[in-house]
Structure 1
């Protein structure tokens, strides 16, 4: 047995030691414990950092807010007409609200994603659909891509082109509202819906039932007139 000495308060005392050296005191383990605590804390920080990175990487981009664009244009008599347009870039929707002199509002919805235009005239209890053509995409292009920079378009009367389009309502063309996409359902939920197609004109034997005037930022105003095609 190896004898060791340890210091007491004011003198040395004999103490028993093992063959491997003096008995380890509890304080001798502290460095190892500190090492493991430090390693655990580092791993925890790495896990949190990875979790935040993954969360940010998988998070969806913030939705773009709806924008209201106003279009002012003088009519043929020179009286200013105010028209409001709601642009939903995230869902590729452009909604026109056209108010008549009698303070009644008709709605025209351009559903660019599905290639459809839906007319909801205030004078009727029906909605009318037609498929978009290239000229329709061109007309709403500036609203989708320039409205982020401009909220008001002032159109000049002497530079504005005025057009008239005739749409014939097809016989037996009623559409079940529940089969339409959500924007169209919301717009026409309380009305019947009918398909229409472009036509040269109603002819003398047919009457024009109503017209909707709509203006675009490209200095083009269109009067869309509806009539019912023969059975």
Structure 2
């Protein structure tokens, strides 16, 4: 036997077979509850798939101009990529057109040095001072600061020695994508900070880099004996 229930008012009305009908308020609350749940599910799905229109800011190129110890101008550029959490420095050697590259991969805590005119990369783990030096570049991405300038008497200068760990080169495929692109078809080795080379060990090369917090670092490499 088919039941037929009606409700002519806000009060409960019995069905023709004697069973009570659902209140209209209850049916409305159930309907709105279902719609709310579906809406929340749609919002979550759209958030996960990135369809809410959020877009990371594009790469920002920042110029850094400083005076070196001799009073000569040092021009460098830093490319900040918020999406990948990377900062890439391009450092042109004075008197030449050769450019060395330093890539700070903040997400993975690794710095990659690629010296000019060489098919070699050197890797080092980032420490607290590296993160501090990058803070001015990784601040509010909405701030469009494109130029940093500071005078020689305002600048703190340091020399940092890195000893290159010889042996078998690093497997490029094990590195993050940004480092793979930079070190493609290059021999790659790990390096670590050291107090300085022994007298019999020669400095291999140096890269001078300046940060917006008035800190300049001369990073010098030398090889450990095999």
TM surpasses 0.5: yes
What is residue 171 of structure 2 aligned with on the other side? 176
Choose from 96, 104, 108 the match for 2:102: 108
For 2:179, what is the secondary structure of its paired residue?
helix
TM-superposed deviation, 1:106: 0.4
Under a length normalisation based on structure 1, what TM-score does the superposition of the two structures give?
0.74
Distance 1:119 1:111 in 2: 11
What is residue 193 of structure 1 aligned with on the other side? 188
Distance 2:47 2:221 in 1: 50
Unmatched segments (≥5 aa) in structure 2 = 1-34
Residues 1-231 of structure 1 aligned to structure 2 (within 5 Å): 54=43, 60=50, 61-101=54-94, 102-146=96-140, 148-149=142-143, 150-231=145-226
User: Which of structure 1's runs of 4+ aligned residues deviate more than 2 A?
Assistant: 53-59, 146-149
**1:173–1:195 CA contact under 8 A, matched in 2:** no
For 1:185, what is the secondary structure of its paired residue?
helix
TM-superposed deviation, 1:56: 6.0
Unmatched segments (≥5 aa) in structure 1 = 1-45
For 1:81, what is the secondary structure of its paired residue?
strand
CA RMSD of aligned residues (A): 2.0
Distance 2:149 2:126 in 1: 26
Distance 2:48 2:196 in 1: 54
* Paired positions, count: 183
Residues 147, 202 of structure 1: alpha-carbon distance in 2 compared, 3 angstrom cutoff: farther
Query: Hey, which of these two has a bigger chunk of helix by percent?
Result: 1
